[in-house]
Every structure is written in C-alpha cells, then in structure tokens.
Structure 1
Amino acid sequence: MTKTVAILGASGYTGAELVRIIATHPSLRIGALSADRKAGMKMADVFPHLRHLDLPTLVTIDQIDWSGIDLAFAALPHGLSQALVKDLPRSVKIVDLGADFRLRDPADYEKWYGKPHDAPELQPEAVYGLTEFYRDEIKGARLVAGTGCNAATVQFALRPLIEGALIDLDDIICDLKNGISGAGRSLKENMLFAERSTDVAGYSQGGKHRHLGEFDQEFTMIAGQKVEIQFTPNLVPINRGIHASCYVKGDPQAIHAALAARYADEPFVVVLPFGQAPQMGHVAGSNFCHIGVVGDRKPGRALVVSTLDNLCKGSSGQAVQNANLMLGFDETSGLMLAPVFP
C-alpha cells in the first residue's frame, strides 16, 4: 500500500533531505512540493543533486490539492505551521519539523519564541516527536511535533539517566558542536564561507537557546522536579552533524549499562563499548545516533557523548520515522541508509 505525501517548504535543507529519503521509500510517493518564493520552478533547478528524480513542480501551498494527500511534512520556518495546520483537512496527518508545536504550554512557546501561539487549540493533540520515547503516542497521532536537532542529540544521551536517577540533576553540562546546515539555507552574512570556514563560534549562550525550552519541559517531566541543564551550542566549519559532550556526575559503568540496556532493541541508536566516544563522521547522512560513555579521572564523573546528523536523525529522518508509525508502516522503512564516509 502506497501513501501520498506533501512536503511544505521543499526548497530548504530539510525539504531536500525529505525528498532524498522518500525517493527510495517503498511505500511513500511525493504528491506535492511547495516553496512559495520558488513556486513554478522544478526541483532539479533548486537542488541539482535531485535531477534524476521525477518530482512535482514546486507550487505555493494554496495551490495544493489536498484531496489526494495522506500526510504533510511541514518543513517551514518557525511560526508558519500553526496557522497553516488549522486550515488543513482533518484527514491529512501532519509531521511538523519546526518548533511550532514542540512545547506543550503555549506560554512556554511565547517565552522562548517571542510571540503568542497562533493555534493553542491544536497544541493538546500534538505529540512530541522523539520517536524512541513516544512511539505508542505517535502511532495514533494526527499531529506530531518534531524535536529540535540539538534537543534530540542531548535527550538520547540523558533521558535514560534521568529516568534511572543515575546522575546529579544539579550538575549537567552539555557542550555541542554543530554543522552549519543547522542554521538553514537562507542567506546570512555570518554564515558566509569566509566567515565560518576557519572559525568556531558559540551562539545563543548563557541560557538563551530556544531548545532549552524542550530540555526544561522533558527533563522536568521525567524527573518530577525542576531540571535546568547548562547548554552551549557552537558552530563548527562542517556541513552537517551534531556532537554533544555531556558532562555528568554519576558512576560511568552504571551509566553505560543503563544506556546499553535502554537502546538494545532500538534500530537507530547505537551504544558503543565502554570507553569509546563516537564521531560525527560515522553517522553523516544517516538516521543513526551513536552514543559513547567515557569515565573521568575523577571518580564519580562521566562524559556521555551523543552524535547524529542534524538534517537526518535530528530532523527529516526523524520525521519519516514518525510518519512510518503514523501511516502503519515498518518504522525503519526507507531509513536504513548507511552513513556516508568519508
């Protein structure tokens, strides 16, 4: 059985990544592609690396015939999905790759994104899209809110440890190295090659990054008490990938054992042998997350390293993984692509 999907915002990096994945999916076909500023163009002219595919011409969202669409991927800038989803037919399932429905409390959305929520009446039906932890809810959902890529990377490392009360909740430090594609495809002066190619720069430091809203929401819920981690993202001169170094207080061997047990049956999360740390290059272009645990020279401290591809497992791959569940397909369909190396 084949289902037809629409990709809204197909001219961005996550839109192109969705096309790349769905092109080899055995049960999905692309029925519509939207890109308002590039409407009327062929996808091959926007992304020449996709010219071998027979794809619909880009259109505006209001030109899409929704009668034949089973599910829509909303790969749109933050703030645009809320009003759009309100107007879609109830028969269309939605996976939103943006931030519009990630935070359950509309007041939290306004706090972190600086504007009131445009569709608070829809928020209660949105399921948080971290697949490995919300699988059952996602299966029956109409609206799934994809996680932030940074939020996913760190949560894979820390959720089992918080659930198992294995680490000190008042002493969690997460330092991330992020690929440039995480900033999107729109032109920005500080993202020019000359400004980024030989530099490393932190951003949204000092508790200002919007993904902290997700950490606060999820970790506080798990722990049953307020949890606020220290979190610093840094741009590094690579195209894609996130490498999260999480410094925690706890027994390193017990931490490793808990992570290995939690992810033993997960197809996309790999826990390395104790003492080994993963590399970004080993998951590039894939839907895999690699996790490693290294003991510190100080007893009772550990380094937990989590790495994934921000465009795939952190966004578009996660979106397809969720769509598979929503549409009744095998969760791994179209996603067992090996990482690209070197």
Structure 2
Amino acid sequence: MSSTIGGSVSVEFGCLRKYEVRRLSTRQGSGRMLSIRASVVSSPDTLELSKANAKQAEKMVRVGVLGASGYTGAEIVRLLANHPHFGITLMTADRKAGQSIGSVFPHLITQDLPNMVAVKDADFSNVDAVFCCLPHGTTQEIIKGLPKGLKIVDLSADFRLRDVNEYEEWYGLPHKASELQKEAVYGLTEVLRGEIQNARLVANPGCYPTSIQLPLIPLIKAHLIELRNIIIDAKSGVSGAGRGAKEAHLYTEIAEGLHSYGITKHRHVPEIEQGLSDASNSKITVSFTPHLMPMSRGMQSTIYVEMAPGVNIDDLYEHLNNTYQTEEFVRLLEKGVVPHTRHVRGSNYCLMNVFQDRIPGRAIIISVIDNLVKGASGQALQNLNLMMGFPEDTGLQYQPLFP
C-alpha cells in the first residue's frame, strides 16, 4: 500500500516495521513536517488521530491482560511494549479498577494504555487473546465464562494438572471447570510446541517446573538417567511469591537470609512429577525443596541425578547440546561454566549445565531462569506467539540486564 499527499510523498507502508514507522518523517517544500505513523501519512493540520487509534492501527492482535496489577501482569505489559503485532486493549484489576497502569507501576508510566477495570465490567468484544494472570483458584470460573473465540494463556496453576482430583488434593478446593481442563494444553514451549500451536487454552507452566523440566525431560526420554532418587534444590527471588502483602515476605523477614518453605508439600510437586512421568511413560516421584532468596527476581534449580549404567557425564552433556543447539531461549553453556541467575535477569533465557558429582555415578545439573520471564510472562508470550502464528521469539529478544 502506498500513499501520496500533495504529490510530494510516496511511501510503501507494507515494508515498514513498527520501530521504523514510528520514526520516519519527511518535509514538504513548504517546510511543513509530515509524520508517518502505522499505515497512515498525516499532516498535523489535515489529519489527526488519537494515540489510541494510531496504536490500534499498528497492531493486528488485540490483547487483554486479566490481573494486570500483579507482577506477572506488569511483566506482560513490559514485554508487549515492543511487540509489533500485539496491542493491549483491555486490562483488569479488581482492587485497582479505574487506575492507570502507570499509577500502579510507575516504571510503566510511558505506556499509553486503557485504565484497568474490574473483571465483571470487562468488555471482551475488542479482544482477540487473553493473558490470565489471576490467582490460583479464581481463574477457572472466569476463563469458563470468556467468549469461546478467544485464545487464552493462563498463568495460574488452575489448568496445569490434568487430574482434577489431584488439583483438589494439592490446592484444597474442587476444580470448577473440569470440561475445560480436558481442552487445556500444557505450555512448556520447547517440549510441546506442536500441541501449543493448535491450542485455544494453554496452561502456562510454573517457574520451578520450567527450570526443572527443561533439563530433565530430554535426559529421561533418552534413558540417560535413573528415574529414582531425583533430588531438586531450588531457589527463587521473592517476586515468585506474588505481590500480595504478607508478613513472611517483609524485607526484614527475607533480607540477609535463606528461607525454605513448602517442604515436602509444595504445590509445584505434582506438576513437576506429571511432566517427568509423561517423559518416561511411568510414574516418577522427586524430592523437591524450594527456598526464597533475598533478591527480587531470578531462579536456580540444582538437580542431583543418578546416571544410567554405562552413561557418563559427557553423554548427558552431548544429549542436552543436541536437544537445544537450535533453540533460541534454552542454552547449554560450555563445559565447566556455571550458570548464574544474574546472567538471565530480565530475559527469556534458560541457561544450564551438567557437572560430574564427586560421588561415582551421579551428576549435578544447574538450571537458571528469570522467574518472571521464562518462568512466567515471557514463556506465556512465547506461547501466544505460537498460538497466533507468529515466530515465537517475537517481542522477546530482550538481552539480560547486567549488572
């Protein structure tokens, strides 16, 4: 498509990407500046578009963010700021209804977005896809009531467990959308992208399960490690506990110390075991202990495994290398290099490596992610990209923040 104003400007809009159309401008002979935005050439004294209309013209997929006032919701907004195809047209936050995103999260004050509304007042007629960032237990009925044509990525735990009885056992309340549970696809992108591409509802994985399953699933499928005695020592930044005000998460409770919690009964255990059992076609149980670290974001899982008979550490390394060498967001480091959480901060990357334990026949695997990005909102965006037919790295090519 091309357009001419006053016979002096002709532009092919189809070849312009978002970051180009925002900056392209030219001058007429009279000195008047013509600005080009999205697929419109405008002169200030002949054509005016509201910011909202101009932004909408740039976007192809209209996105709703339910629970935008939480950490994962805010991270979705941050990531979508540079997405060329997704534009936010709806945000909900019951306790912050009527407020702007900039008033709740000042670091997002530059984003020109609709004010947040209560879920009950949300209008989905202008929405194509939804990120659901609501608390566990509240999501099922809300998603059940959404229009059937919407693509949905749910960041809660409500649709991660296929067995609704197991959900009730671990979360303490009955599942209220069991029929919808049958439709949900588990969203571990690098493992299940074929199923995700055709899904309407994707259950985004938890942060701990993401960091654990990415290294373990390939090794289990290749029969390189024993299925018994898998021990996982995992640590997370405090943002993984959510934004709700809790005494245990006060600065003086968390700072200058290490906080173990959910010992033997953390809710991510059945999710981890479900994924590993699927990989092995047999029941796997693990020993999993999570810890809160005095940092805002970041996650490390240190995993202890027994190697199968005749298998050595080089076999594990080579298989992980072959599995992930073409993946953009999962990287096996060079031999001997230790992954650190500070090297993935703010990014969608998972870094991992394997090490020979001093105990013969055992190996140590270290996997690190940003719990809010690859462990939540980044993987959710990766999944929605697949569901909408876009390259899965679209809007996710943020490099880690360091220092």
Q: What do residues 69-127 of structure 1 show as CA deviations (whole Å, max 9, x unaligned)?
A: 11010000001110011111111111000000000111111111111100001011100
TM-aligned CA deviation for residue 298 of structure 1:
2.8
Provide the C-alpha distance between the structure 1 equivalents of 2:178 and 2:66, rounded to a whole number of angstroms. 21
Aligned structure 1 segments of 4 or more residues deviating by more than 6 angstroms: none
Provide the C-alpha distance between the structure 2 equivalents of 1:189 and 1:299, rounded to a whole number of angstroms. 44
Instruction: Please tell me whether residue 139 in structure 1 is matched to residue 197 in structure 2.
Output: yes
Aligned partner of 2:345 in structure 1 is 284
Provide the C-alpha distance between the structure 2 equivalents of 1:123 and 1:297, rounded to a whole number of angstroms. 44
Instruction: Please tell me whether residue 299 in structure 1 is matched to residue 356 in structure 2.
Output: no
Provide the C-alpha distance between the structure 1 equivalents of 2:345 and 2:297, rounded to a whole number of angstroms. 7
Aligned partner of 2:220 in structure 1 is 162
Aligned partner of 2:280 in structure 1 is 223
Instruction: Please tell me whether residue 252 in structure 1 is matched to residue 310 in structure 2.
Output: no
TM-aligned CA deviation for residue 177 of structure 1:
1.2
Aligned partner of 2:175 in structure 1 is 117
What amino acid is the match of 1:242? Answer: M
TM-aligned CA deviation for residue 297 of structure 1:
2.2
Instruction: Please tell me whether residue 334 in structure 1 is matched to residue 391 in structure 2.
Output: no
Aligned partner of 2:328 in structure 1 is 267
Q: What do residues 299-329 of structure 1 show as CA deviations (whole Å, max 9, x unaligned)?
A: 3211110000000000000000000011111
8 Å CA contact 1:277, 1:294 repeated in 2: no
Aligned partner of 2:120 in structure 1 is 62
Instruction: Please tell me whether residue 99 in structure 1 is matched to residue 160 in structure 2.
Output: no
Instruction: Please tell me whether residue 38 in structure 1 is matched to residue 96 in structure 2.
Output: yes
Aligned partner of 2:375 in structure 1 is 314
After TM superposition, the score normalised by the length of structure 1 is 0.98
TM-aligned CA deviation for residue 62 of structure 1:
2.3
TM-aligned CA deviation for residue 195 of structure 1:
1.1
Instruction: Please tell me whether residue 203 in structure 1 is matched to residue 261 in structure 2.
Output: yes
TM-aligned CA deviation for residue 63 of structure 1:
2.0
What amino acid is the match of 1:244? Answer: S
| Unmatched 5+ stretches in structure 2 | 1-58
Provide the C-alpha distance between the structure 1 equivalents of 2:113 and 2:259, rounded to a whole number of angstroms. 38
After TM superposition, the score normalised by the length of structure 2 is 0.83
Aligned partner of 2:249 in structure 1 is 191
| Higher mean displacement: 214-223 or 302-311 | 214-223
| Higher mean displacement: 61-70 or 7-16 | 61-70
| Higher mean displacement: 292-301 or 76-85 | 292-301
Aligned partner of 1:71 in structure 2 is 129
8 Å CA contact 1:163, 1:223 repeated in 2: yes
TM-aligned CA deviation for residue 274 of structure 1:
1.7
**RMSD of equivalent CA atoms:** 0.9
What amino acid is the match of 1:259? Answer: L
| Unmatched 5+ stretches in structure 1 | none
- Counting matched residue pairs gives 341
8 Å CA contact 1:253, 1:274 repeated in 2: no
Is the radius of gyration larger for structure 1 or structure 2?
2
Aligned partner of 1:85 in structure 2 is 143
Provide the C-alpha distance between the structure 2 equivalents of 1:225 and 1:76, rounded to a whole number of angstroms. 32
TM-aligned CA deviation for residue 219 of structure 1:
1.2
**Relative contact order (alpha carbons < 8 A, sep ≥ 6): 1 or 2 greater?**
1
SS in 2 for 1:174: strand
The sequence identity of aligned pairs, in percent, is 49
TM-aligned CA deviation for residue 55 of structure 1:
1.1
Q: What do residues 241-268 of structure 1 show as CA deviations (whole Å, max 9, x unaligned)?
A: 1111001111211111111111111110
SS in 1 for 2:178: coil
Provide the C-alpha distance between the structure 1 equivalents of 2:158 and 2:358, rounded to a whole number of angstroms. 42
